[in-house]
Amino acid sequence: MTNNEIDAAAVTAALASLKDPESGRSLTKLDQVKDVQIENGELSIELSLTTWSAPLWRDVREAVEEKLRAAFPELASIVVRQSTYDRPAPKLGEIGLTSKSVIAIGSGKGGVGKSTIAATLAFGLKRAGCKVGLMDADVYGPSIPHLLGLNGRPTIENERIQPILKDGMPVMSMGLLVPKEEAVIWRGPMLHGAVTQFLRDTNWGDLDYLIIDMPPGTGDIALSLSQLLPLTGAVVVCTPQDVALLDAVKAIAMFRKVRIPVLGVIENMSGFVCPSCGQRHDIFGSGGARQRAEELGVPFLGDVPIQLKIREYGDEGRADANFADPAVGACLEGICYRLVKNLAESAAASPPQPQLPVLG
């Protein structure tokens, strides 16, 4: 094909097989390839992608460039300009929450760093460019406010709870509503009511992801969430030793029993690298979570090492600073990437049906 024969239709045809990560449908059918310009052997296009797929933007751009180079090798240059494709979040069930994905972070037992992982996953997705909210559903032991250094009490405006913002990310937690030294002593119905209120009455805005930090163990909250709204799925956090893995397996079984898909397993505290000699020490063992995930047919999202800075940043209320550590930051970014990539692959394999307007 000569330069004179290349036009917008030819470009669209060359990219027809590429799918939008969020919807699983062709980029060209959804009008996400725009403003095709060809002049003097140079091709320029605008690629419009949603913020939901932000961790995958680079992959999609590279795939588009590769397709165009293969289809039109005679071109001197190809420029892909990126813009944001505005696709509003749907309302989820009767609860009225507007979020494209709701992901619960759980564990079979306490003390495995679940809340730290939940907070850093939320920050990782936000850093990539996603619109993220973080909800602390660990009513009995809410630690998200401490990990994020949050103070103050949420206010009520127009009968809606205004969440506390952390660098623009809305956060809601029971730890923001009760004094630090006060214990919450509630039975199941009160827990259900609190979770319902956090989801229904909080002004979350239009989100790509709502990350929910679950209580440890297999209690009432998972059942409440499964009844309140359609969760995208759950991520299980564990440490490598056998006793923790036994509880992680129970957590996976719990989510499956209440029909919440298990999106993956994260191995926390996975080895310690001595800063003096550089030698790795597998204090709690190594690779146990990956092995259990494979046995159970669950994706393994990655591991996070034991680092002194992770504890220090958490104690200082700066959990987001973990991304400043090259070793830890790379692990967390990789986990965010694999999580979204797996969701995109599921969408591509079985694209969700488009929402049709209800005619009055």
Task: Give the pLDDT band (50/70/90) at residue 181.
Answer: low
Query: Is residue 356 situated within a structural domain?
Result: no
Asked if residue 107 has pLDDT above 60, the reply is yes
Query: Is residue 164 situated within a structural domain?
Result: yes
In this prediction, residue 243 carries a pLDDT of: 67
Task: Give the pLDDT band (50/70/90) at residue 1.
Answer: low
Domain boundary among 84, 107, 139: 84
Position with higher pLDDT, 36 vs 195: 36
Beta strands at 33-39 and 97-106: parallel, antiparallel or unpaired: unpaired
Query: Is residue 360 situated within a structural domain?
Result: no
- Same domain? For 150 and 66 the reply is no
- On whether the CB atoms of residues 322 and 308 are closer than 8 A, the answer is no
CB atoms within 10 A of CB 170: 22
- On whether the CB atoms of residues 176 and 158 are closer than 8 A, the answer is no
- Same domain? For 21 and 38 the reply is yes
Asked if residue 110 has pLDDT above 80, the reply is no
**Rounded to the nearest 5 degrees, what angle is found at the Cα of 358, between the Cα atoms of 353 and 360?**
165
24-59 in b/e form (b: 16+ CB < 10 A) is bbbbbebebbeebebeeeebebebbbbbbbbbbbee
In this prediction, residue 57 carries a pLDDT of: 97
In this prediction, residue 203 carries a pLDDT of: 95
Dihedral sign, CA of 59, 61, 62, 64?
A: positive
Beta strands at 300-303 and 169-173: parallel, antiparallel or unpaired: unpaired
In this prediction, residue 21 carries a pLDDT of: 96
How many separate domains does the chain show? 2
Average pLDDT for 167-195? 75
Asked if residue 356 has pLDDT above 50, the reply is no
- Closest Cα to residue 313, out of 217, 248, 304? 304
Task: Give the pLDDT band (50/70/90) at residue 95.
Answer: confident
* Lowest-confidence pick of 103-117, 135-149, 206-220, 275-289: 275-289
- Closest Cα to residue 283, out of 264, 266, 267? 267
- Same domain? For 76 and 132 the reply is no
* pTM of the predicted protein model: 0.90
**Tokens standing for 205?**
């805005």
Average pLDDT for 322-350? 92
Task: Give the pLDDT band (50/70/90) at residue 187.
Answer: low
The tally of CA atoms less than 13 A away on the side-chain side of residue 316 is: 11
- Same domain? For 178 and 309 the reply is yes
Please state, in angstroms and rounded to a whole number, the distance separating the CA atoms of residues 15 and 45. Answer: 11
In this prediction, residue 2 carries a pLDDT of: 55
Mean pLDDT of the chain: 87
Question: Residue 357 has what DSSP assignment?
Answer: P
In this prediction, residue 360 carries a pLDDT of: 40
Position with higher pLDDT, 63 vs 287: 63
Backbone angles phi, psi at 237, to 5 degrees: -105, 135
For the segment 218-270, what is each residue's pLDDT rounded down to a tens digit?
A: 667 777 888 888 899 999 998 887 666 788 888 898 889 888 999 999 998 87
Question: Residue 283 has what DSSP assignment?
Answer: B
- Same domain? For 128 and 75 the reply is no
Please state, in angstroms and rounded to a whole number, the distance separating the CA atoms of residues 214 and 234. Answer: 10
Which helix (H) or strand (E) segment holds residue 310: the answer is helix 308-315
| DSSP-based three-state secondary structure for 156 | strand
- Same domain? For 296 and 329 the reply is yes
For the segment 118-146, what is each residue's pLDDT rounded down to a tens digit?
A: 999 999 999 999 999 999 988 777 889 99
Asked if residue 354 has pLDDT above 90, the reply is no
Domain boundary among 29, 52, 84: 84
Query: Is residue 357 situated within a structural domain?
Result: no
The four Cα atoms 54, 132, 332, 310 give a dihedral, to 10 degrees, of 150
Full domain range(s) for residue 71: 7-84
Asked if residue 357 has pLDDT above 50, the reply is no
In this prediction, residue 284 carries a pLDDT of: 65
- Same domain? For 65 and 145 the reply is no
For the segment 9-25, what is each residue's pLDDT rounded down to a tens digit?
A: 999 999 999 999 999 99
Please state, in angstroms and rounded to a whole number, the distance separating the CA atoms of residues 317 and 258. Answer: 34
For the segment 46-89, what is each residue's pLDDT rounded down to a tens digit?
A: 999 999 999 999 999 999 999 999 999 999 999 999 999 999 99
- On whether the CB atoms of residues 84 and 48 are closer than 8 A, the answer is yes
Backbone angles phi, psi at 270, to 5 degrees: -95, 80
- On whether the CB atoms of residues 312 and 328 are closer than 8 A, the answer is no
